[in-house]
A and B are shown apart, each in its own frame.
Chain A
Amino acid sequence: MKALCWEGVDRLSVEQVPDPILRNDQDMIVRLVAGTTCGSDLHLIGGYIPFMRAGDVIGHEFVGEVVEVGPAVRRHAVGDRVVVCSFVGCGRCWYCANDLWSLCDNTNTNPGIGQALFGADTAGIFGYSHAMGGLRGSHAEYVRVPFADYGAFTVPEGVDDTSALFVSDSVPTGWMGADLGGVGPGDVVAVWGCGAVGQMAARAAVLLGAERVISIDRVPERLRMTERHVGSEVIDYSSTDVGAELRERTGGRGPDVCIEAVGMEAHSDGPMHVYDQVKQQLRLQTDRPTAVRQAIHACRKGGTVFILGVFAGAVDKFPLGAVINKGLTVRGAQMHGQRYIPMLLDRIAAGELSTSHMATHTVSLDEAPTAYDMFKHKTDGCVRAVIRPGG
């Protein structure tokens, strides 16, 4: 079959690879209907998560049709239309039982790497390097889905493929940021990043009753889209002093909850950016935490900063003084998708949550390398490129 493979830093190509096979009794095989680009892939493609081998298939958000089920799969049958969570959870370890699915104990086939890097191994993700489980990605004609009863969800009638697709990853990620960030009625919430993750975090904040939601980015199409489809106010950080603007809009307090949805390749103007970029490339720090620093500074005293952006290792100039002196709660997580996916599908079916507007482009698998290039450089208004392996 055809698959999109990582071939080296900034090099993707469509290759012929062997079809996936059932390896465990709880596996199933899904024929891809649609997959999509994610900001997390950019960190892999750029070589910032250094555990890729040439030929690894990438991709982790997808909808498809079940074509084969293992003998122990109970909740799915051949022909089901499913959306699959990007993180794989066994469903029965303490973490899965406590709805902390991205921390599953039993789905990373290379646990020693995570234990060395982070002090503990975390759940496997489709197509996200040998450190994060070494499972094949979904930008292919077929993909194997382990622990299928727990990670795959039947798409309700009336929810189209494109709307369901983002429920794999970006929608639950955003929702989790607002939910675990403690957003409630009366809060002012600021969100850094207007990619799919940031937009969905802002939308979740609106739906959880926030009084005001303010989103921050510099890409004009993304700012406009967020105003229109999410119902959030926006700030263009390339032309505005974000800290001062947030103070003015929040009566001098600062936002109650700050959600960071940018990640380790954050952009900024000025000397700090050069400093961070050089240090990152020399591996003196692994990540550029520009938006995290800004969120911590902007947050009101006693408020919460939730980090959704992906970071891999160590950062420099982390404002620990602000955290302790302002009494902040700083929290982050990879997404616990299985906890939110059924509720999110219901909300989409009920018309409360729009996701399909983020699908700005649709391409074939052969065009995927070009689509990633466009997504990376945010050209042509690209927010998410939908990849349809079946054409």
Chain B
Amino acid sequence: MAGKKALLTAAAGLTAGAVALRRLTARSPEPDDTHRWLVVTVQRAPDDVRPHEIGPLKDFGDRIETRINAAPGDRGTELAARFRDPAAEGGGSVAARVAGDDPRQDLRRALREAKALLEAGEVLLPDAPPTDHESPGGKLIGTLSRRAGGEGVL
């Protein structure tokens, strides 16, 4: 009975993991979507936010355009970025996204890292070395975690 319950719960867990993976990757690759600005709000004054001087964004050079606005209230600065020529970047398909080959994933990660550097002075790294080992459910979660830095609603 206990074994059966554990199995059921594990199966349910896998399903939920799969649902999350689908949601992580399922947004439609509408042509317009690749033109959309990706935006983070940084808890710093606009004068302190110079996108092309921040490591993670600097590396994109002229491939990206950026924009900054003062956020309403006391919420800091809105920092936005997008590719100048999304078609030339490639990716954008569901397949590219699942494979982790969508350049917008790198841009999302770079924006988050830029925000973390400006606010907290460092990008938090996961613990090392990892303590986990292979298991059937673990593989999926490993994939999810690897993708998670470049994914999301941002």
Contacts and interface: CB of A to CB of B under 8 A. Distances in A.
Nearest to B2: A10
Nearest to A49: B13
Contact of B9 (A48, A90, A121): A48
B148 A111 contact: yes
Given A106-B124, A113-B24, A53 B6 contact: no
A110 B76 contact: no
A9 to B, nearest CB: 4
A56 B141 CA distance: 12
A26 B120 CA distance: 10
Interface string B1-19: 0100111111011111100
Chain A interface secondary structure, helix, strand, loop or mixed? loop
A200 B131 CA distance: 33
Interface residues of B, number: 54
A5 B145 CA distance: 19
A85 to B, nearest CB: 15
A3 B41 CA distance: 38
Contacts of A111: 112, 148-149, 152
Contact of A119 (B12, B120, B145, B153): B153
Contacts of A114: 152
Interface in A80-127: 88, 90-94, 97, 105-107, 109-117, 119-121, 124
In which size bucket is the chain A interface? 35 or more
B119 A92 contact: yes
Contacts of B129: 18
Nearest to B10: A9
B16 A109 contact: no
Interface stretch (B49-57, B81-89, B132-140): B132-140
B142 interface: yes
Given A53-B141, A111-B149, A9 B6 contact: yes
B136 to A, nearest CB: 9
A190 interface: no
B16 A313 contact: yes
B127 A9 contact: no
A180 interface: no
B91 interface: no
Contacts of A147: 120, 124
A92 B130 CA distance: 28
A134 B126 contact: yes
A112 B150 contact: yes
Given A23-B128, A24-B124, A48-B9, A106 B116 contact: yes
Contacts of B135: 8, 53-54
Interface in A135-179: 135-136, 144, 146-147
24 contacts: A9-B7, A10-B2, A18-B129, A23-B125, A24-B124, A50-B141, A51-B144, A53-B132, A54-B134, A72-B121, A90-B116, A92-B119, A105-B115, A106-B116, A107-B124, A109-B125, A111-B152, A112-B24, A113-B148, A115-B154, A130-B144, A134-B145, A135-B126, A282-B12
Q: Which 3 A-B pairs have the closest CB atoms?
A: A50-B13, A112-B151, A115-B152
Interface of A: 3, 5, 8-10, 15, 17-18, 20-21, 23-26, 46-48, 50-57, 72, 88, 90-94, 97, 105-107, 109-117, 119-121, 124, 130-131, 134-136, 144, 146-147, 281-283, 286, 313
